Amino acid sequence: MTSRSGLKNSVHVQYHPNVQVLVSLVHLQHISNTLRMAIQQVTTEFVHIMEHDFPFTREIDHQLLVNALRDVPELRIIRFSMRLNGAPQNRVGIAGLAGCAHNLTYDGMYFHLAMWSNNNHFTTRAYYEWLLEEIGPVPHAPKAPIMTHQTKNCTLYGQYMYGPPTEGWHLYHIDGKSESYKRTFRFNNHKRCPKSTADVPSSVLPWVRCPI
């Protein structure tokens, strides 16, 4: 634990100068302000924002992401899905809107525009400094105000999914509430338990508590 200027009374763990772990607390004004404090601490050009209960299920080509963000001005933020990339849930609020059906390709990787989400995403520190200034110190998750902006300008405020619509899922949701209140773990990505272990990537099997 560390106590640093601007982080008084917060739960803050620092493993490395550019690895900041902050717990979002009510008195910190939720995720938005916690992100603001974390961004103020790091010095790297790029940042990977990760939620504590979303482990990755696949390897991510971070060098490709760095190159893409540097070479493609439209590509400002890339996120990873806990569903198939093309799932309707990834386009809630923007499906059918002008300018919101937008795709990019870079070095063989496909990116398509999706709704903004707090789930794990990769971007630049400069992007977050701009974004947090845009939405101000809102006392809740940044998703709501950003989604309002996104309905007016999808490409400026949207996130691009990593991979084509037919590819899925790069994250697994370790749902603590389900673990606490149910004997069987809800298989969140499909809202059901899988029929067999063949439906589950081996990297997430330890977290699946279904009667298989």
Backbone angles phi, psi at 177, to 5 degrees: -65, -40
Residue 139 structure tokens: 């006392």
Burial environment of residue 5 by CB neighbours within 10 A (0 to 12, 13 to 18, 19 or more):
exposed
**Strand partners for 124:** 46
Query: Could you tell me if 201 and 168 are in contact, meaning their C-beta atoms sit under 8 angstroms apart?
Result: no
By the 8 A CB rule, do 9 and 1 touch?
Answer: no
**Banded model confidence at residue 125, pLDDT cuts 50, 70, 90:** very high
Sequence-ordered list of residues with C-beta below 8 angstroms from that of 83, at least 6 positions apart, any chain: 89, 90, 168, 169, 189
Enumerate the domain spans of the chain.
Answer: 12-162, 176-207
In angstroms, the CA 97 to CA 153 distance is 10
- Summarised one tens digit per residue, pLDDT across range 58-114 is 888 999 999 999 999 999 999 998 888 888 788 877 887 877 878 899 999 999 888
pTM: 0.71
pLDDT tens profile 5-45: 444 444 445 555 666 565 555 555 567 777 888 888 788 89
Cα 202 to the center of its chain, rounded Å: 22
